Amino acid sequence: MAEKSKILVVGGTGYIGKFIVEASVKAGHPTFALVRENTVSDPVKGKLVEDFRNLGVTLLHGDLHDHESLVKAIKQVDVVISTVGNMQLADQTKLITAIKEAGNVKRFFPSEFGNDVDRVNAVEPAKSSFSIKAQIRRAVEAEGIPHTYVASNCFAGYFLPTLCQPGVSSVPPRDKLTILGDGNAKAVFNKETDIATFTIKAVDDPRTLNKVLYIRPPKNTYSFNELVALWEKLMGKTLDKVYVPEDQLLKNIQEAPLPLNIVLAINHSIFVNGDQTNFAIEPSFGVEASELYPDVKYTTVEEYLHQFV
């Protein structure tokens, strides 16, 4: 058995980052997390950092804006996984420069974990957000850095507790709900722990090298209408449904304040355009995670929704 790659997670205390760190440790990879000095004193993130330490994660102090700290951290590992948030996406150019200088990285995973940004047809302001991720892809490729892009589609923990209702508290609706467009475009909903497991599986897999890893399991692929029908079946009652036509949704996006306009524009891309599923995964550019790793027992949408019944 070949030795498992050493993994550095940048942005490990973020939403998806903490799951990636845990999955890396669980899979037996020597795991490193880049943390800023001030993160340790943060009440929430400080607790996460302590959890990482207890898991056996090696904490490396550094910052995206401190080139020397990045190079020093990167030289200690084989693989770099970035899970930085939206505000730091563009700063990943600094990570690319450091990876290039370090010269030892076998694989880089830039912060993606959503739609495949090269195959979306989004409106503003989501369009700009997606285009930053696409620009980072081009920069990685231009430098010849070995990479994998993870298109994990929808975070179950973000979309399913509210059944994709923006601005609703964290319980699925039990009386009425809003469906975007005609409700027939298919989307994919994956539990965060499963996204992390699949991502770590891809780290040392030659089949995912310089490819997009799509997490698109058949049992987690639903149209809005199918998702509502499933929830109705689990609850044993029918909901009142209000359909929002595309032209009305586009008007809502233009009139909504930040950050609601971004949320609505992303929902338009997913639930009206069907940008997660409206193309076939071709071997030339991508692979599908549940096909590559049939041993992963992922949580299905139906299993996930059961907790709310």
Q: What is the DSSP string of 38-55?
A: GGTTSHHHHHHHHHHHHH
| Both tokens assigned to 300 | 């299905």
Closest CA to 130 of 185, 89, 166: 89
- Virtual torsion, Cα 11, 267, 129, 136, nearest 10 deg: 60
CA count, 13 A, side-chain hemisphere, 7 = 30
Q: Count Cβ atoms within 10 A of the Cβ of residue 269 and give its class: 0-12 exposed, 13-18 middle, 19 or more buried.
A: buried
Active site residue 133: yes
Reported in sequence order, the residue ranges of the chain that DSSP labels E, i.e. its strands, are 7-10, 31-35, 58-61, 79-82, 107-109, 148-151, 154-155, 176-180, 186-190, 211-214, 221-223, 240-244, 286-288
Closest CA to 162 of 101, 228, 80: 228
- Catalytic residue (choose from 45, 75, 127, 133): 133
* Helix, strand, coil shares, percent, the chain, to 5: 45, 15, 40
Which phi and psi (to 5°) does residue 24 adopt? -65, -45
- Per DSSP, 2 falls in state P
Angstrom distances, CA of residue 26 to CA of 100, 151, 301 = 29, 22, 24
Closest CA to 235 of 305, 164, 169, 156: 305
Question: Which active-site residues does the annotation give?
Answer: 133
